[in-house]
């Protein structure tokens, strides 16, 4: 991997940690920063590796924490964008998801996609993401349970009643999360329209995301490059 791509992977990881930390604090969840990882205690317990070079001590601390939480009967997700961890001995399995980046470039205008501006629009976008992603642990949907009103200052985008996504500007890149289309509107260009709006919003900076395997072909067509596969341990 070239120096630029290595830097983009680092930026993507920092963006994701900042996004999850902001989201957790807006929900009243506990966030703990350790030397090499961040632990977020919410409905799921999330551990995010922040460095490509964790020490042996850092890895032992992370594995010990993951074991403790799992032994308490809770769901644990460990995000490792650098593929530095092996948690099989802790009874966990890795799902590989591609981390991608698109450098600044023009994107078409999408007048049907708008940025969320009001609490009512945020609740509608949240409902689309809860039902369409889907986020089973937040069903039935309660407005504000996923994205509290305090997050209105962040850039959410929506195609009303059809699709929505959440973005985060941090670490020199724009991060995109929960790009969602409701089932009845899939394969009709909603995801592409949302992404065009996001790319225009972040017109002057790289845009990063972690793609699902089904979503990757769209991002390939939009000019995204794969930085590598992140391991999501569960």
The domains of the chain, with CATH numbers, are 3-99 (no CATH), 104-205 (3.40.630.30)
ω into residue 158 within 30 of 0, thus cis? no
Q: Which two tokens stand for residue 151?
A: 């997050």
Q: Which is it for the CA torsion 42, 44, 50, 51, positive or negative?
A: positive
**Cβ atoms of residues 16 and 48 within 8 Å:** yes
Instruction: Please give the full DSSP string across 163-201, using - where no structure is assigned.
Output: EEEEEEEETTEEEEEEEEE-GGGTTTTHHHHHHHHHHHH
What's residue 130's pLDDT? 98
Q: pLDDT per residue over 138-191, tens digit each?
A: 999 999 999 999 999 999 999 999 999 999 999 999 999 999 999 999 999 999
pTM: 0.96
Short-list 96, 103, 82, 83, CA closest to 208: 103
Q: pLDDT per residue over 12-24, tens digit each?
A: 999 999 999 999 9
What's residue 176's pLDDT? 98
ω into residue 140 within 30 of 0, thus cis? yes
Distances (CA, A) of 172 to 12, 39, 78, 148, 175: 9, 23, 24, 25, 10
């Amino acid at each position: 991997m070239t120096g630029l791509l290595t830097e983009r992977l680092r930026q993507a990881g920092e963006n994701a940690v900042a996004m999850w930390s902001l989201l957790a604090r807006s929900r009243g969840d506990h966030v703990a920063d350790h030397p090499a990882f961040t632990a977020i205690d919410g409905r799921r317990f999330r551990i995010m590796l922040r460095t490509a070079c964790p020490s042996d001590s850092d890895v032992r601390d992370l594995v010990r924490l993951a074991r403790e939480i799992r032994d308490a009967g809770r769901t644990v997700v460990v995000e490792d964008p650098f593929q530095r961890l092996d948690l099989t001995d802790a009874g966990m399995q890795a799902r590989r998801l591609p981390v991608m980046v698109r450098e600044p470039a023009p994107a078409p205008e999408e007048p049907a996609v708008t940025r969320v501006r009001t609490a009512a629009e945020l609740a509608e976008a949240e409902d689309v993401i809860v039902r369409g992603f889907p986020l089973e642990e937040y069903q039935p949907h309660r407005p504000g349970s996923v994205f509290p009103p305090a997050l209105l200052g962040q850039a959410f985008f929506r195609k009303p009643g059809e699709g929505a996504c959440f973005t985060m500007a941090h670490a020199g890149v724009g991060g995109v999360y929960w790009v969602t289309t409701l089932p009845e509107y899939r394969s009709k260009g909603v995801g592409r329209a949302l992404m065009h709006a996001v790319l225009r919003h972040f017109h002057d900076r790289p845009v990063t995301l972690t793609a699902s395997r089904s979503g990757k072909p769209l991002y390939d067509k939009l000019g995204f490059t794969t930085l590598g596969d992140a391991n999501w341990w569960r």
